[in-house]
Amino acid sequence: MHTNAGIFEEKKLEKSYDIKLLWRIYPFVKPYRLLLTFSIIMAMAITLLDLSLPYITKIAIDRYIVPKADVETTHSTSARYLTVDISRQDIAGIVRRYPKSFTVSGSSGMIAYNQLDKLAPQDLKTLRQDDLSGISLIAVIFLGIIVLDFILNFSQQMIMEVTGQKIMHDFRMKLFTHIQDMPVSYFNQNPVARLVTRATSDVQNMQEMFTSIIAFVFKDMFLLGGIAIVLINMNWRLALTAFIVLPAVGYFSIHYSRQARDAFRIIRTKTAEINTHFSETITGMKVIQLFRQEANNYQKFQKINHEYFMAGMQQVHVFALFMPVIEILGITAVAIIIYYGGIRVLSDQITIGALAAFISYIKMFFRPIRDIAEKYNILQNAMSSAERLFQILDNAEKDAPRIIHETGLLAQVTEEPLSIISSLEAKDISFSYVKDEPVLKNVSFHVNAGDTLAIVGPTGSGKTTLMNLITRFYSPDAGRILINGKDVQSIASEQLRARIALVTQDPFLFSETIRENILHGAKALSENELEQVLDAANCKDVVDKLPQGLDTLLSEGGASISSGERQLISIARAFARNPELIILDEATSYIDSQTEQKIQKALVNLMTGRTAIIIAHRLSTARLANQILVMKKGRIIESGTHETLMTRKGFYYMLNQMEKIH
């Protein structure tokens, strides 16, 4: 059987198209848009709370710590004065104790700030009692905002985590369903490890996008916009001065984002290649060690791993430069504020509180820029994963019903219900796995219900390929396969395969119990019915000698039992389905003579009363057939019963003679 199993290079992706990808992700987000909307509203509330903190600090400084004071100017100096209400007895007593420090005018008294250090600590506390009360109130409000901010942040984080988990649950199920519906030919070109990488780490990367980015990007955007508005309202000249560095921030952000995207694309590709190589190494460990290929295999892996390392270093290089650049620009903006704002404080054009708030806001302004850079890191990783995932979902090679007309054109047809199989016919079937390398050429045959057809021939003659076409694992390039006169491409694959049981030369068993493997895809059977299945399949002895019997858990692929025992269990699995058509693909190829007798008996039981197709190298099984097809190089060169073909002394006769010799 020819396949394209060696072809597993990742397709090269086109240039960035994040907006299109985000739009394609939206259908998965849509069912949870209310949760996301609520999270965004919470982000807006958190932003308002964050914006209020520096402004509250400004109020505390300007109103209570260094309140705006009266200024008196003499011919040589100017002094700042604190005005107090001397109608209060306690304050009036302080004024009387320090008559040289206070200037009294009516019910008010004034004291220069540079004279406050001459007052006793208790008197100073009494004098500024209102300021202390105001600061205490500000501190309580500040603490309340922090607590509320914590609650909202925690709630938003939980909402986003739950939403992200739900979205990725749906995405993973969509991906799993799509992969499961793909034809067998798709898996010949896509290694298991690559598909596993897509369904696990790539989906996980996208989950991080939802949990770490969506609401938080909104929060950062709101914060940036809010800070800009507050700064402009406080002092637009100082705000514009601070924003001088923003063009540089934008330039570096765009420049580094392009480099980061390329790095992440390579990383996602190399991750899949590493997983593929690991999987193949573990699966083929016996062959590698037997042929002493450890060094060669090591070099191949070293090459892939080095390419992954270089892509990772490219990513590190990008962000190792980007983050310090943003940090330097942020410090530059603060330095500009301190210089320009300090001059304006000295000229009494703005207050100390306003300058302190400006510095806090500018630091806060560059924090979301750094956050956005980090989130962009995650976003690029997620977008690279999304590209690969949609590359799978965009593959239209689904196991859909198709029919090939005599003209050779493909057309979609309506799936029709399938009645009991009364006949199976192939009409001029041709097929190739690789273009211009035909595996089958104009193959035709007819089988009636209850008959047994044997297909024999040397390796590579197309026997197994014919089985793949009957079961609709592949579609013929030309010709048709008919069941009850209907093209199998017009019959739903679920209906068709529900009537067929396949016993292969190397049956695959799942890492489940023997009971679950036998009942796989079959209707529920009672214990008595299951016992009858085991007896008919000659499988009871195999089950009875195992420690947990039918409930014995098998290892992956059934490796914990012998090939003959796997074969008997697969025959029992076929019995459990009660199929109308049996296909035996080299069912006794790898079995010793003693086990072969048990399997032969089980196969005879299985074929009794059913239509059967036997693909065999050992001609002893083929002798039971009503009709034998002899294939060579993709063509049927002889057909007839065993006796007829032996009488002709053709190719079949030669195969028999060679088998006797061996």
What is the arithmetic mean of pLDDT over 172-190?
82
Whether 45 shows a pLDDT value over 50: the answer reads: yes
What is the reported pLDDT for 510? 82
Beta bridge partners of 584: 503, 614
Whether 643 shows a pLDDT value over 50: the answer reads: yes
3-state secondary structure of 192: helix
What is the arithmetic mean of pLDDT over 49-72?
79
Cα–Cα distance for residue pair 261/16, rounded to 1 Å: 8
pLDDT digits (tens, 9 = 90+) for 444-491: 999 998 899 999 988 888 888 898 888 888 889 999 999 988 888 888
> Percent of the chain, pLDDT > 90?
10
Specify the range with the lowest mean pLDDT, choosing from 120-134, 362-376, 485-499. Answer: 362-376
Whether 629 shows a pLDDT value over 90: the answer reads: yes
What is the arithmetic mean of pLDDT over 95-124?
82
Query: In this structure, are residues 70 and 103 in contact, taking their beta carbons and an 8 Å threshold?
Result: no
Whether 241 shows a pLDDT value over 70: the answer reads: yes
What is the arithmetic mean of pLDDT over 501-519?
83
Q: What is the DSSP string of 516-570?
A: HHHTTTS----HHHHHHHHHHTT-HHHHHTSTTGGGPBP-GGGTTS-HHHHHHHH
pLDDT digits (tens, 9 = 90+) for 533-549: 888 888 888 888 888 88
Query: Rounded mean pLDDT of the chain?
Result: 80
Residues 6 or more apart whose Cβ sits within 8 Å of residue 442: 428, 429, 430, 479, 635
pLDDT digits (tens, 9 = 90+) for 287-298: 788 778 888 888
Q: φ, ψ for residue 479 (rounded to 5)?
A: 85, 180
Specify the range with the lowest mean pLDDT, choosing from 255-264, 406-415, 557-566, 595-604. Answer: 406-415
What is the arithmetic mean of pLDDT over 382-411?
63
Residue bearing tokens 């002889």? 638
What is the reported pLDDT for 247? 86
Whether 140 shows a pLDDT value over 90: the answer reads: yes
pLDDT digits (tens, 9 = 90+) for 197-220: 788 888 887 877 777 776 667 778
Cα–Cα distance for residue pair 45/32, rounded to 1 Å: 20
Specify the range with the lowest mean pLDDT, choosing from 315-324, 402-411, 608-617. Answer: 402-411
Q: What is the DSSP code (8-state) at residue 78?
A: E
Residue bearing tokens 């290694």? 191
Whether 412 shows a pLDDT value over 50: the answer reads: no
Find which of 70-74, 317-321, 588-592, 646-650 is predicted with most confidence, using mean pLDDT: 646-650
Domains annotated on the chain, with CATH: 18-64+133-393 (1.20.1560.10)
What is the arithmetic mean of pLDDT over 292-319?
85
Whether 411 shows a pLDDT value over 50: the answer reads: no
What is the reported pLDDT for 76? 42
What is the reported pLDDT for 639? 92
Specify the range with the lowest mean pLDDT, choosing from 54-63, 193-202, 250-259, 269-278. Answer: 250-259
pLDDT digits (tens, 9 = 90+) for 9-25: 455 444 444 677 778 88
What is the reported pLDDT for 382? 79
User: The tokens of 49 are what?
Assistant: 């709370």
Whether 637 shows a pLDDT value over 90: the answer reads: yes
pLDDT digits (tens, 9 = 90+) for 68-78: 555 554 444 45
pLDDT digits (tens, 9 = 90+) for 216-236: 677 788 888 888 888 888 888
Whether 620 shows a pLDDT value over 90: the answer reads: no
Specify the range with the lowest mean pLDDT, choosing from 69-78, 523-532, 569-578. Answer: 69-78
Whether 104 shows a pLDDT value over 60: the answer reads: yes
Cα–Cα distance for residue pair 377/369, rounded to 1 Å: 12
CA 317 → CA 305, 330, 653, distances in Å? 18, 20, 71
Query: In this structure, are residues 385 and 205 in contact, taking their beta carbons and an 8 Å threshold?
Result: yes
3-state secondary structure of 195: helix
What is the reported pLDDT for 439? 92
Query: In this structure, are residues 370 and 223 in contact, taking their beta carbons and an 8 Å threshold?
Result: no
What is the reported pLDDT for 79? 60
What is the arithmetic mean of pLDDT over 108-135?
81
pTM of the model: 0.67
What is the reported pLDDT for 536? 84
Dihedral-angle region of residue 514 (phi above 0 means left; psi in -120 to 50 means alpha; beta otherwise): alpha
